[in-house]
Amino acid sequence: MAVQRDALLWLHLWAVAMAASGAAGSKVPAMFVFGDSTADVGNNDYLPESSARANFPHNGVDFPGGKPTGRFSNGLIGVDFLAFSMGLSKSPPPYLSLVANAANSSSSELMNMTKAAAAYMTGANFASGGSGVLDSTGNTINMTKQIEYFSDLKDQMITRLSANRVSALLSKSIFLISAGGNDAFDFFSQNRSLDSTGVQQFSEAVISTYDSHVKTLYNLGARILAVINVPLIGCCPYWRSQNPTGACIEPLNQLAKRLNDGLGDLFSNLSSEMEGMKYSIASSYELVSSLIENPQVAGFEEVKSACCGGGRLNAEEGCTPKSSCCSDRSKYLFWDLLHPTQATSKFAGLAFYDGPAQFVSPITFKQLVEA
């Protein structure tokens, strides 16, 4: 479509200009991240019983130092690029790494607490691959637990600063949420017929639970919410590999769209109910759709197959050290059976930060942090 192509072309030109100019100073004091594998930067590495981990090659092959970090990617992911765009010197670390480092340190307890507090001052990432909006989704760190971790962190911050200073910091910080895809995956896997009554009940449950999570974060001090909606999940390589024609699974895309429509209505209502709350919703759904429609604008040549994996479309198996891995990751939309490449994540980060309304609304993330 011409509109999609024009928006992507504009975004590509803007990205080149941004790269040439460099990022400005910090626009937010901290970023706190919640969600699933689209935002996990290594929390699942600290879950020894979980198989939902990415702390092994080929993951991280393009990350600085060429090492796996727990990100489900060949390199950086979207939250990393958003952190850079917001002027933070680095992406917030996985919360469980901070806890583990403090516990394992040989220094005194007071020094441990001080070191942890310093790390927390620019935020933390609580996201966990495999989790969802619903606590029944997955078996990793569910959203309720992620928010409990944040509550614990806030208490620790108050003991080191003061309630007023922490409240002021949180009110200016970004709270980023990227979740919902795994809920849709699980529901679709168990209900392939997608009868209207079941879909309605499922959608209402997800949106109602999302509502509860946002209100809990608000009561804990969150005021600026950056939301990434459910991607075009039916076009992930894994689901294509399950279709005899290799085409997208459209019923799954429609399920994602229904959840996204509900998210839009939810945040519109919440912004009028909750004093001082600001929000922006980035459309991962629209971005992936546009890149599949016009891949050449972003320099992609392959939008169906996974770069790392095995089987049909290289997507019937996950990415492991023994997997087949493409040599030029920059040409691929998807890294593995479900997740984007670093190249896609960079494009997404730029689109969500200051892209056209097609990709982020009612305001951009840039406008959100500068308002």
Helical H segments across the chain, by residue range: 2-21, 78-85, 95-104, 109-120, 143-160, 163-172, 181-190, 196-219, 237-241, 250-273, 284-293, 342-354, 365-370
Tokens of 331: 């040409």
d(Cα 186, Cα 277) in Å, to the nearest integer? 31
Active-site position among 58, 80, 131, 339: 339
CB of 78 closer than 8 Å to CB of 178? yes
Bridge partners of 360, per DSSP, are 282
Residue linked to tokens 């072309």: 9
Angle at CA 313, nearest 5°, toward 308 and 316?
Answer: 75
Active-site position among 37, 131, 173, 289: 37
Bridge partners of 115, per DSSP, are none
User: Can 339 be counted among the known catalytic residues?
Assistant: yes
d(Cα 344, Cα 298) in Å, to the nearest integer? 8
Active-site position among 36, 80, 183, 336: 336
User: Can 58 be counted among the known catalytic residues?
Assistant: no
d(Cα 76, Cα 90) in Å, to the nearest integer? 11
d(Cα 245, Cα 19) in Å, to the nearest integer? 39
Sign of CA dihedral 51, 55, 60, 63: positive
User: Can 213 be counted among the known catalytic residues?
Assistant: no
Tokens of 189: 């896997």
d(Cα 308, Cα 199) in Å, to the nearest integer? 33
Give the Å distances, CA to CA, from 17 to 110, 218, 345, 350, 367.
46, 36, 18, 11, 18
Residue 236: partners with Cβ closer than 8 Å, 6 or more residues away: 315, 334, 337, 338
Burial of 50 from C-beta contacts in 10 A (0-12 / 13-18 / 19+) = middle
Give the Å distances, CA to CA, from 297 to 75, 92, 183.
21, 30, 31
Tokens of 93: 């670390």
Tokens of 252: 């799954």
For the annotated catalytic residues, the residue numbers are: 37, 336, 339
